[in-house]
């Protein structure tokens, strides 16, 4: 029997606003528990929410970047349930009238490009955090995160396998980081997703019963959780049973999903329009202003790199894949005027190091200014390309400043001709046999002399000068 | 010279003429509070701070409210002063901030002498649901003062303070004003900021003044209103001087009588009082016009869907986790919720949370909550058409005078019908007030005037004109009442 998988994702993107969705409380990460909490975040009696306009602007940017309908009038609803880290006993969200309607996003799959339809994207507030392991027999509540703005992006059930789900998640992450609406930091929980998975016999038109896997926050776990869940569901059906509609949790340690609550146990959230908040209306002017200030997106960057900077499309794609990489590229180009060289280093050595460590560029110790300086030191002949490689490796491990590394390791290229002539002459003098053979027509031996000079100078000699000097001395 | 039963205007004159000093006025007020302790109209006093403020007051301030003692309904958060909302749940809650209304009034020079008793979370029409006990009506200690702003109404009616703040979700200012023989105004929804008002039903709640005269209500309103960026439902509208037009003649003013308010179902005495008022207005040159509000009979059921729905959500935050009461009996999370809320809330609050949760639940939302909101729109439309024909709409405020405590027994529906005439103005967001217009068996009763959207000026003018030619508002309970 061949099985077909149907997957839909709900991605929660934490918007990078300075203050929370309904209060002036700070959204900063990593503060002491309950220090980024104001009266509204605590849900004190008598307080009222005021919607953060910037969160709307950021949501609209996402909508515009995914060719989505923007609902210029949108409204908030209350989702009622009890939990200690939900201070008001309800979450304010957009159920009936979300700010962003139907849109699309392009993803790269093994079979080429695929368009995934986005159902909607709506604003909502995050809850706080329950801390179960800090106090013996008690649960702590940290409300720092309570009220942080989230954009929940809901896809249509059009994703066919775990790899596509990851590709979709990556595409969303790429867009939100390019739009500067989210820092994309998965480790800090800035992006999390719920995955709806169902399976059906190939050719069936009806969707199978789905299970929802909650709160996954890494690419790796998305893939593993989905694959595990698909296998589980197929096993259930093949054993003659039916899949139960339920919410499941992914356990990354055991690599399995387990039931959290069934449909029958599901909360009745008693949604209704939040009477404390008027519908938010975005004027045409406001919308146009956001449109005209939309940052350049990956596809536009690739096009510009190819047509204006003359990069190969494959190079352009690698560089424009992440906002950080693109920023590093653009800063270095500005400072050095040698964009081909900049691209060569990013696509070559830098990408190789990233692959080796299996990390993203923003997780590396390479800063855009330090990288630009590295290229500058090559183009101003302070160091050779070969030395630059070792400097890059040093940056990779220590994050130190390029000039400091060059200085402390004495890597400055030897430019002084008289010194180089002296070294070259002594090598010629000490190798009479090779000189004779070279002069007798063994041209290949030229490389031997270059190598000897480089060895003597520990690679610091300017290769171009060495070539010229040797040619002169050996003629 | 006694300060008892004095109006804001009179007390302000006394202060200006040095008939009484600022500290003396406040000391006297606390003596009156002490003498009338049996009314149980105050839950918490603010004595030390109030006296301190009076001693340090800026005597040069031109504000008519400067140094005037007022009582605050215990539903407004007051910084560092206990705010209970009449509930065990908040019996030890001390807010870290003050409501905008409190700040506005205190900025104008008012001195808050204490927090007044009220029905628990403003749910009730007799002040019998308060955790802190019943409030007695100064006109008869066996009578209820009405609710939910019963403590504020009783304190003003007993002449302890010239004015108090109240809130009105379905009649909670106007009904106790009627039953206690004072004037009370519920402004247009959004006139006064809700920041710091502990929410009952957010789309209906509105703060307002309770005072001895319509003129004092206008004075209070001048300082209670503000556009507050902290409340997105607060209106960004011009705030007029509400006293500026109250003396204008009402000759030619068109007063609407609602066809669907079937007065024949009321006691003869109530009808007689109402008809007397009509005659008085006619003698002043007002014209009466019958208006039809075809959907008005749906007001009470609509209200008892919308208000409990919002209340069920608004009161979810009282869960024993962060503030307020926490049960000692709980051994796990679910028990914490169950015990805390079982112990913390009284029966009426629980009843409304249950009704509200029911009407919002999956499968019932469309039939109840959504339908109720649609009806609400129809009621608003009815008023809009009516106000094309008339300037104000007039009705009795209540179905009768104050009733005896315990007399509505265990039937909540009888209590809910108390608000028959007052609820429509809340559903439509319109301003409405009640002024005393007669006595039935030595008990006061009130007349309701409903105004067009944002037109508090008109109802205040119509009310003040009435009070210029009548003395119902000047009557005081006899001293030997028991």
Hey, are the CB atoms on B232 and A82 less than 8 Å from each other?
no
In a domain, A249, yes or no: yes
pLDDT of the residue at A11? 98
| A278 & A339 share domain | no
Between positions 271 and 300 of A, the ones with CB within 8 A of B are 271-272, 275-278
Contact B285, B252 (CB under 8 A): yes
Two tokens, residue A322:
């992440």
Which residue range forms the structural domain that includes residue A458? 417-474
| A84 to chain B, closest Cα gap in Å | 6
A444 — phi, psi (to 5°)?
A: -60, -25
* Cα gap A120→A113, rounded to integer Å: 21
Whether A138 is covered by a domain: the verdict is yes
For strands B287-291 and B254-258, give the pairing: parallel
B232–A contact, CB cutoff 8 A: yes
Question: A428 or B395: whose pLDDT is higher?
Answer: B395
Structure token digits, residue A223:
């893939």
**Residues of chain B positioned with their CB less than 8 A from the CB of A141:** 321-322
Residue contact B95–A44, C-beta within 8 A:
yes
The total number of structural domains in chain B stands at 1
E strands, B20-172, where?
42-45, 69-73, 111-116, 163-168
Q: How far is CA A410 from CA A403, A422, A458, A466, B357, in A?
A: 10, 20, 10, 19, 76
Q: How many domains does chain A have?
A: 3
Distance (Å) from the alpha carbon of B441 to chain A's nearest alpha carbon:
40
Q: Please indicate, yes or no, whether residues A198 and A266 belong to a single structural domain of this protein.
A: yes
- Chain B CA closest to residue A271: B360
pLDDT in the model for residue B482: 44
B360 interfaces chain A, CB cutoff of 8 Å: yes
Q: Of A285, A305, A327, at which residue does a domain stop?
A: A285
Q: How many CB atoms lie within 10 A of CB B298?
A: 17
Q: Which residue among A46, A50, A275 places its CB closest to the CB of B203? A: A275
Which neighbouring-strand residues pair with B111?
B69
In a domain, A290, yes or no: no
Are B192 and B207 in contact, with CB atoms under 8 Å apart?
yes
Mean pLDDT in residue range A401-424: 84
A38 touches B: beta carbon within 8 Å? no
Query: First vs last Cα of chain A: how many Å apart?
Result: 78
By the 8 A CB rule, do A191 and A12 touch?
Answer: yes
CB atoms within 10 A of CB B475: 15
B152 is catalytic: no
- Clarify whether residues A181 and A260 are in a common domain: yes
Q: Is residue A172 part of a domain?
A: yes
Across the interface, whether the CB atoms of B369 and A272 are under 8 A apart is answered: yes
Q: What is the C-alpha to C-alpha distance for residues A87 and A95, in angstroms, rounded to an integer?
A: 20
Over the range A421-432, which residues count as b (16 or more CB within 10 Å of their CB) and which as e? eebbeebbeebe
Residue A402 shares a structural domain with residue A435:
no
- Which of B180, A467, B295 is closest to B172 using CA atoms? B180
Please tell me which residue in B125, B172, B234, B277 is annotated as part of the active site.
Answer: B172
Same domain, A100 and A211: yes
% of chain A at pLDDT higher than 70: 100
Report the C-alpha gap between A112 and B59 in whole angstroms. 81
Q: Are residues A443 and A469 in the same domain?
A: yes
> By mean pLDDT, which of B128-132, B264-268, B386-390, B402-406 is the weakest?
B264-268
Query: In this predicted structure, what is the pLDDT of residue B479?
Result: 60
Q: Specify the pTM.
A: 0.90
| CATH number, domain containing residue A430 | 1.10.10.410
How far is B437 from B169, CA to CA, in rounded Å? 23
Same domain, yes or no: A280 and A336: no
pLDDT single digits (tens) A308-338:
989 999 999 999 988 899 999 999 999 888 8
A100 closest CA partner among A55, A133, A132: A55
> Which chain A residues are within 8 Å of B333, Cβ to Cβ?
84, 139
CATH number of the structural domain spanning residue B73? 3.90.1300.10
Peptide bond into B23 cis (omega under 30): no
The H or E element containing residue A175 is helix A162-178
pLDDT band at B180 (very low <50, low <70, confident <90, very high): very high
Query: How far are the Cα atoms of A408, B141, B213, B434 from residue B443, in angstroms, in the given order?
Result: 97, 12, 18, 15
pLDDT score at A81:
95
CA atoms within 13 A on the CB side of A162: 15
Place of tokens 């109402």: B274
Inspect the interface and report whether the beta carbons of B361 and A270 lie closer than 8 Å.
Answer: yes
pLDDT digits (tens, 9 = 90+) for B157-178: 999 999 999 999 999 999 999 9
Q: How far apart are CA A70 and CA B396, in angstroms?
A: 49
Shortest Cα distance, chain A CAs vs residue B174, angstroms? 22
Between positions 367 and 386 of B, the ones with CB within 8 A of A are 369
pLDDT above 90 coverage of chain B, percent:
94
Of A391, A409, A427, which residue is a domain's last? A409
- Name the average pLDDT for chain A: 92
Please report whether residue A55 resides in a domain: yes
B396 touches B445 (CB < 8 A): yes
- 3-class DSSP state for residue A210? coil
**Same domain, yes or no: A360 and A249:** no
- Domain of B52 in residue numbering reads as 1-482
Q: What is the pLDDT of residues A441-456, one digit of tens each?
A: 888 888 888 888 888 8
Does residue A215 come out as left (phi exceeding 0), alpha (psi in the -120 to 50 range) or beta? left
**CB pairs A-B closer than 8 Å:** 102
Whether A180 is covered by a domain: the verdict is yes
Does B95 contact A42 at a Cβ distance shorter than 8 Å?
Answer: no
Q: Is some CB atom of chain B closer than 8 A to the CB atom of A3?
A: no
Taking an 8 Å cut-off on Cβ atoms, the answer to whether B317 and A43 are in contact is yes
Residue that has been written with the tokens 């799959």 in this structure = A109
Q: Say whether A264 sits in a helix, a strand or coil.
A: coil
Q: What is the mean pLDDT of residues A31-35?
A: 94
Would you list the DSSP string of A410-475?
A: T---B--HHHHHHHHHHHHHH-HHHHHHHHTT-GGGHHHHHHHHHHHTTT-B-HHHHHHHHHHHH-
Q: Is B63 left (phi over 0), alpha (psi -120 to 50) or beta?
A: beta
In terms of domains, do A338 and A214 share one? no
Contact A272 B361 (CB under 8 A): no
B405: Cα within 13 Å, side-chain hemisphere: 18
B83 touches chain A (CB under 8 A): yes
Domain end, chosen from A379, A409, A439, is at A409
Residues A26 and A92 in one domain: yes
Does this complex have an ipTM over 0.90?
yes
- In this structure, the answer to whether residues A277 and A154 fall within a common structural domain is yes
My answer on whether A164 and A214 are in the same domain is: yes
Contacts of B382 (CB under 8 A, 6+ apart): B292, B293, B294, B295, B296
Q: Tell me: the pLDDT tens digits for A329-362?
A: 999 999 888 899 999 999 999 999 999 998 888 8
Burial (CB count within 10 angstroms: exposed 0-12, middle 13-18, buried 19+), residue B10: middle
B313 catalytic residue (yes or no)? no
B409: pLDDT strictly greater than 90: no
Whose CA is closest to A140, among A152, A126, A151, A129?
Answer: A129
Least confident segment among A134-138, B270-274, B285-289, B306-310: A134-138
Q: How far is CA B140 from the centre of its chain?
A: 20
- Residue B148 known to be catalytic: yes
Mean pLDDT over A1-28 rounds to: 95
Q: State the average pLDDT over residues B77-83.
A: 98
What does B173-241 look like in DSSP terms, one character per residue? THHHHHHHT-EEEE--TTSS--TTBPPSSTTT-EEEEEESSHHHHHHHHHHH----TT-TTS-------
- Report the 10 Å Cβ neighbour count for A251: 13
Residue A46 sits at the chain B interface (C-beta within 8 Å): yes
Mutation target vs B (from A19, A52, A275, A277; most B CBs, 10 A cutoff): A275
The pLDDT confidence band at residue A363, using thresholds 50, 70 and 90, is: confident
pLDDT above 80 for A114: yes
Q: Do B230 and A90 touch (CB under 8 A)?
A: no
């Amino acid at each position: 029997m061949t099985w077909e998988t149907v997957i839909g994702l709900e991605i929660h993107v934490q918007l990078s606003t300075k203050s929370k969705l309904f209060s002036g409380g700070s959204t900063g990460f990593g503060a002491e528990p309950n220090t980024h909490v104001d009266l509204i975040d605590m849900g004190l009696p008598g307080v009222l929410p005021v919607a953060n306009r910037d969160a709307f602007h950021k949501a609209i940017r996402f909508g515009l970047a995914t060719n989505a309908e923007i609902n210029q009038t949108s409204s908030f609803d209350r989702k009622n349930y009890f939990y200690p880290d939900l201070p008001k006993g309800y979450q304010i969200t957009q159920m009936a009238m979300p700010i962003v309607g139907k849109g699309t996003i392009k993803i790269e799959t093994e079979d080429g490009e695929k368009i995934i339809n986005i159902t909607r994207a709506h604003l909502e507030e995050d809850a706080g955090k329950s801390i179960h392991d800090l106090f013996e027999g008690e649960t702590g509540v940290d409300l720092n995160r309570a009220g942080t703005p989230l954009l929940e992006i809901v896809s249509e059930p059009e994703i066919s396998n775990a790899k596509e789900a990851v590709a979709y998640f990556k595409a969303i992450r790429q867009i939100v980081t390019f739009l500067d609406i989210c820092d994309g930091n998965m480790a800090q929980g800035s992006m999390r997703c719920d995955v709806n998975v169902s399976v059906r016999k190939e050719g069936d038109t009806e969707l199978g019963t789905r299970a929802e896997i909650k709160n996954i926050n890494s690419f790796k776990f998305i893939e593993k959780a989905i694959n595990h869940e698909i296998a589980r569901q197929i096993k259930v059906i093949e054993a003659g049973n039916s899949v139960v509609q339920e919410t499941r949790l992914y356990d990354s340690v055991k690599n399995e999903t387990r039931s959290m609550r069934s449909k029958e146990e599901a909360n009745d959230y008693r949604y209704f329009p939040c009477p404390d908040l008027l519908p938010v209306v975005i004027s045409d002017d406001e919308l146009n202003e956001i449109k005209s200030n939309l940052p350049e997106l990956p596809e536009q960057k690739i096009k510009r790199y190819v047509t204006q900077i003359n990069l190969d499309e494959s190079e352009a794609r690698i560089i424009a894949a992440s906002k950080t990489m693109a920023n590093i590229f653009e800063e270095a180009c500005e400072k050095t005027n040698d964009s081909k060289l900049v691209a060569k280093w990013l696509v070559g050595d830098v990408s190789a190091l990233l692959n080796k460590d299996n990390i993203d560029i923003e997780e590396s110790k390479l800063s855009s200014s330090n990288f630009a300086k590295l290229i500058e030191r090559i183009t101003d002949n302070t160091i050779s390309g070969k030395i630059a490689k070792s400097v890059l490796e040093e940056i990779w491990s220590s994050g130190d400043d390029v000039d400091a590394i060059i200085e402390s390791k004495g890597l400055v290229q030897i430019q002084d001709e008289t010194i180089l002539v002296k070294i070259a002459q002594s090598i010629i003098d000490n190798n009479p046999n090779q000189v004779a053979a070279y002069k007798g027509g063994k041209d290949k031996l030229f490389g031997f002399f270059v190598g000897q000079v480089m060895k003597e100078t520990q690679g610091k000699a300017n290769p171009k000068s060495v070539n010229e000097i040797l040619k002169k001395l050996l003629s | 010279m006694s300060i008892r039963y004095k109006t804001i205007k009179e007390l302000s004159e006394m202060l200006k003429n040095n008939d009484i000093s600022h500290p003396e006025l406040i000391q006297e007020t606390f003596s009156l509070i002490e003498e009338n302790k049996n009314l149980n109209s105050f839950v918490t006093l603010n004595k030390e701070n109030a006296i301190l403020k009076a001693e340090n007051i800026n005597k040069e301030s031109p504000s008519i409210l400067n140094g005037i003692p007022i009582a605050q309904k215990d539903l407004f958060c007051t910084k560092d002063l206990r705010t209970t909302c009449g509930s065990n749940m908040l019996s030890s809650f001390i807010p870290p901030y003050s409501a905008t209304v409190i700040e506005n009034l205190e900025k104008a020079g008012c001195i808050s002498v204490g927090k007044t008793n009220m029905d628990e979370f403003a749910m009730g029409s007799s002040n019998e649901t308060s955790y802190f006990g019943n409030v007695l009506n100064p006109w008869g200690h066996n009578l209820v003062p009405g609710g939910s702003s019963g403590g504020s109404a009783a304190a003003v009616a007993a002449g302890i303070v010239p004015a108090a703040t109240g809130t009105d979700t379905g009649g909670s200012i106007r009904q106790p004003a009627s039953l206690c023989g004072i004037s009370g105004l519920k402004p247009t929804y959004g006139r006064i900021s809700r920041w710091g008002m502990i929410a009952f039903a957010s789309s209906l709640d509105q703060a307002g003044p309770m005072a001895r005269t319509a003129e004092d209500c206008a004075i209070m309103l001048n300082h209670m209103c503000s556009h507050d960026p902290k409340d997105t439902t607060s209106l960004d509208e011009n705030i007029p001087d509400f006293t500026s037009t109250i003396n204008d003649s009402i000759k030619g003013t068109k007063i609407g009588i609602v066809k669907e308010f079937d007065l024949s179902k009321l006691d003869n005495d109530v009808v007689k009082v109402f008809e007397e008022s009509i005659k008085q207005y006619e003698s002043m040159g007002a014209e009466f016009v019958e208006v039809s509000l075809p959907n008005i009979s749906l007001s009470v059921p609509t209200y008892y869907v919308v208000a409990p729905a919002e209340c069920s959500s608004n009161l979810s935050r009282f869960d024993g986790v962060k503030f307020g009461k926490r049960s000692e009996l709980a051994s796990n999370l679910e028990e914490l919720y169950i015990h805390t809320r079982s112990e913390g809330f009284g029966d009426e609050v629980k009843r409304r949370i249950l009704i509200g949760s029911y009407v919002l639940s999956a499968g019932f939302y469309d039939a109840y909550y959504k339908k109720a909101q649609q009806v609400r729109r129809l009621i608003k439309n009815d008023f809009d058409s009516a106000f094309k024909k008339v300037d104000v709409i007039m009705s009795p405020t209540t179905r009768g005078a104050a009733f005896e405590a315990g007399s509505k027994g265990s039937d909540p529906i009888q209590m809910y019908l108390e608000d028959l005439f007052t609820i429509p103005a809340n559903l439509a967001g319109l301003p409405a007030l009640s002024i005393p217009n007669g006595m039935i068996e030595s008990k006061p009763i009130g007349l309701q005037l409903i105004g067009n959207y944002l037109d508090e000026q008109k109802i205040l003018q119509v009310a003040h004109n009435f009070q210029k030619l009548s003395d119902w508002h000047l009557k005081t309970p006899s001293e030997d009442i028991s």
